[in-house]
Amino acid sequence: MVEYVRVYVDELRRFTSECFMKCGVPKGDADIIADHLVLANLRGVDSHGVIRIPVYIEGIKKGYVKSFSESRIIKESMATVLIDGGGGLGIPIATKATDLAIEKCRSVGLAAVGVRNLGHVGMLAYYTLKIAKNNLIGLVTANGPAIVVPWGGIEPIFGANPMSIAFPTSSRPIVIDMATSAMAHFKILLAALKNEKIPEGVALTKDGKPTTDPREAQLLLPFGGYKGYAIALTIEVLSSILIGGQLSKYIVLHGSTQGGFFTLAIDPTVFREYSEYLKDIDTLIKFIKSCKPAQGFNEVLLPGELEDKTFEERLRKGIPIDINTWKMLTEVAKELNIESPKTL
Amino acid sequence: MVEYVRVYVDELRRFTSECFMKCGVPKGDADIIADHLVLANLRGVDSHGVIRIPVYIEGIKKGYVKSFSESRIIKESMATVLIDGGGGLGIPIATKATDLAIEKCRSVGLAAVGVRNLGHVGMLAYYTLKIAKNNLIGLVTANGPAIVVPWGGIEPIFGANPMSIAFPTSSRPIVIDMATSAMAHFKILLAALKNEKIPEGVALTKDGKPTTDPREAQLLLPFGGYKGYAIALTIEVLSSILIGGQLSKYIVLHGSTQGGFFTLAIDPTVFREYSEYLKDIDTLIKFIKSCKPAQGFNEVLLPGELEDKTFEERLRKGIPIDINTWKMLTEVAKELNIESPKTL
């Protein structure tokens, strides 16, 4: 039985921003981080929500990330930008990089922006949603500390290496956001806390033996066998090798660290009238939503559909914070001498 | 026990080209198709090799594809091109589109080319290898006749929707080439011929019930569960909706048909010195190849590594053609009044 405290959305944003400002983060950046983490909670992606506040603060204290740094453009061409993040907190830098990708894409029709040397960038859907809300298709990837083995191997080479893709539609964008590991690292930690087993084919012990015990799980398998391995490898190349970010093997294992951040934006109007694009993607959505469900399924879901529903609900009812996270947050509040978020 | 005939590489190329010329395909295009199909056989991807000759010829006869058509550029911007293939055989058109993507990418650093209205484009690695040999990163996708269900559904919405990605390295490119279905359609047909079962979790009967009997398998599942479904959906959007190609649901089910073809090229030098890129990708390769293998594996393979080995071997020893395919080819030879390829 997990207990929850329900918190006002605006209050959680105010609290998050104040936390980071107290740690030396400029107001503009702190507001971006608050907007980001609270959006993750609103979408039900609690692993990337305010639970990260103490993690990022620890990262600052331990010197893994800087509370403030001047990120700078180190290479630029018509359709591309390369940014050095200066080792700063990842979310504000990645947000600016995404804005640049949108701007470039608007003028060229196609744009790619890479950022090396930055902290954890959070929930990738934050960036692709931003791109999709500008009527562009967005792809975002990042690599992280090595915990995933290649197919057929038992040493960690890749991070959980997530990717997000968003497609604008005539209503909500379709939003894919997924790790390329078979299971999210966070879910394994959660299973350990709850004394539950994890499925077979998801994780290995540190000696490379298959395990269903989350406390023994030290290595993760890629999702989808050798095909998922190929996708994890692709994300490794785009997020680190292509843009000079750290290889996953070299990244410090901490919740505040990241390798590189890569984003690509495509303007559908370089190929078609936007209305034609919309008509066809709406048709695809109709096919999917009217598809007869398999046994055990009530309906066929679009990627991101569940998160959209959670978003609507939490926007109305406030954000539930589990009691353990709530305790951590109130401790942070006390330590930094700021007011805890008001509960409903 | 499968019997083989071993054929000279040049002879197979000569034969393939003559087949298509006899069907009204211009010599230049016929040579491209021959180069393509024989490369597939050389790489061991026999499902996309000369076995397709009678399939493509049938497609021409039935009017699914044209032996010759003027493809034309219908929209162009600095970094992008949209081509209407005029309903012609897919391989020569997709090859020209790839050349255009390479050319654009060389000048802009990033390029995307889409082709709608064309026949089957064959083995996607053919195109990404071309891009990678120009020291560029290549991504290629295509959608095909609907045979894959969305995750949780039992109606076909996506094609096998393959994707290929190639990364240049200081030796052979790393080449990913995979369908987003859990199993290749061709392998299921093969299992039926051999009276073998197919694995669980790969296919459904036409009523949506799980089956391991290849003769009952009418629908394919996406690879890797809901994550693979998300990738299949992405390929559907890029290959059809973005560029105005046919949705998979609307494509005639035949081995000569295709929806749309999408290619993206990235020049690493817009971000880094090429030598720096090479150094890092070689390091990743070293990590992967020196990774301790799991039980049951002799070594960890790079995507495309097996195909590269087969290529070397077949280049030396000639191409083995299984006896059923050989019979089909000799029938084609007789029908078109051309000489069968010389065997070793």
pLDDT in tens, B209-221: 999 999 999 999 9
Residue B98 CA to residue B89 CA, distance in Å, equals 15
Residues 304-343 of A with CB under 8 A from B: none
Residue B339 has, within 13 A of its CA and on its CB side, a CA count of 7
As its CATH architecture, domain B4-182+221-269+318-336 has: 2-Layer Sandwich (3.30)
> Would you state the pLDDT for residue A224?
96
> Would you state the pLDDT for residue B307?
98
Closest residue in A to B109 (Cα) is A79
Check B301 against A112: CB less than 8 A apart. no
> Would you state the pLDDT for residue A1?
58
Low-confidence residues in chain A, pLDDT < 70: 1-2
Nearest-CA distance B238 → chain A (Å):
10
DSSP-derived letter for residue B293 is B
Nearest-CA distance B91 → chain A (Å):
21
- Give the global pTM: 0.97
Residue B61 CB neighbour total at 10 angstroms: 12
Tell me how far the alpha carbon of residue A101 is from its chain's centroid. 18
Q: Which residue has the tokens 């353990």?
A: A324
DSSP-derived letter for residue B318 is -
Which tokens sit at A38? Answer: 């609270």
Q: What is the CATH number of domain A77-182+221-270?
A: 3.30.1370.60
**Helices A90-108 and A27-42, packing angle to 10 deg:** 90
* A101 and chain B in contact, CB less than 8 A: no
Q: CATH 3.30.1370.60 in chain A, residues? A: 77-182+221-270
> Would you state the pLDDT for residue B1?
57
Chain A residues whose beta carbon lies within 8 Å of the beta carbon of residue B204: 294
Beta-carbon contacts of residue A184 (< 8 Å; ≥ 6 apart): A47, A160
Which tokens sit at B2? Answer: 């499968």
Residue B65 CA to residue B271 CA, distance in Å, equals 41
CA dihedral B140, B146, B147, B152 (to 10 degrees): 100
Residue B280 CB neighbour total at 10 angstroms: 21
Euclidean distance between the first and final Cα of chain A, in Å? 20
Closest residue in A to B146 (Cα) is A287
**What sign does the CA torsion over A196, A202, A205, A210 have?**
positive
At A98-113, the pLDDT tens digits run 999 999 999 999 999 9
At B306-332, the pLDDT tens digits run 999 999 999 999 999 999 999 999 999
Fold annotation for A4-62+317-336: Hypothetical Oxidoreductase Yiak; Chain: A, domain 1 (1.10.1530)
CB nearest to A110's CB, from B75, B79, B224: B79
CB B189 within 8 A of CB B214: yes
Q: CATH 1.10.1530.10 in chain A, residues? A: 4-62+317-336
Nearest-CA distance A314 → chain B (Å):
24
* A272 and chain B in contact, CB less than 8 A: yes
**Helices A125-132 and A27-42, packing angle to 10 deg:** 90
Q: Which residue has the tokens 């505040």?
A: A256
Interchain CB contacts (distance < 8 Å): A and B: 225
**Helices A53-62 and A323-336, packing angle to 10 deg:** 50
> Would you state the pLDDT for residue B194?
83
Residue A107 CB neighbour total at 10 angstroms: 11
Residue A182 main-chain phi, psi, to 5 deg: -65, -30
> Would you state the pLDDT for residue B186?
79
* A280 and chain B in contact, CB less than 8 A: yes
* A82 and chain B in contact, CB less than 8 A: yes
Residue A241 has, within 13 A of its CA and on its CB side, a CA count of 25
> Would you state the pLDDT for residue B2?
67
Residue B58 CA to residue A323 CA, distance in Å, equals 66
Bridge partners of residue B319, in order along the sequence: B7
Check A228 against B227: CB less than 8 A apart. yes
* B301 and chain A in contact, CB less than 8 A: yes
CB nearest to A110's CB, from B75, B80, B155: B80
CB A175 within 8 A of CB B312: no
* B79 and chain A in contact, CB less than 8 A: yes
CA dihedral A202, A208, A209, A214 (to 10 degrees): -50
Q: Which residue has the tokens 């499968």?
A: B2
> Would you state the pLDDT for residue A194?
83
* A236 and chain B in contact, CB less than 8 A: yes
Residue A123 CA to residue B51 CA, distance in Å, equals 46
* B113 and chain A in contact, CB less than 8 A: no
Residue A142 CA to residue A269 CA, distance in Å, equals 27
Nearest-CA distance B322 → chain A (Å):
27
User: SS3 of A285, please?
Assistant: helix
Residue B74 CA to residue B82 CA, distance in Å, equals 6
Check B233 against A108: CB less than 8 A apart. no
Cα–Cα distances (Å) from B188 to A31, A137, B150, B199, B321, in that order, read 54, 34, 19, 10, 19
From the list A245, A254, A242, A249, the residue with the least C-alpha distance to A120 is A254
CB B102 within 8 A of CB B130: yes
CB A258 within 8 A of CB A160: no
Residue B11 CA to residue A244 CA, distance in Å, equals 46
CB nearest to B241's CB, from A79, A225, A281: A281
Low-confidence residues in chain B, pLDDT < 70: 1-2
**What sign does the CA torsion over B265, B123, B129, B106 have?**
negative
Beta-carbon contacts of residue A1 (< 8 Å; ≥ 6 apart): none
* A110 and chain B in contact, CB less than 8 A: yes
Chain A residues whose beta carbon lies within 8 Å of the beta carbon of residue B272: 75, 82, 242-244
> Would you state the pLDDT for residue B190?
80
Nearest-CA distance A306 → chain B (Å):
13
Residue A260 CA to residue A242 CA, distance in Å, equals 9
From the list A217, A219, A177, the residue with the least C-alpha distance to A198 is A217
**Helices B27-42 and B305-317, packing angle to 10 deg:** 110
A161: left (phi over 0), alpha (psi -120 to 50) or beta: left
Residue A104 CA to residue A154 CA, distance in Å, equals 41
**How many residues does this entry show for chain A?**
344
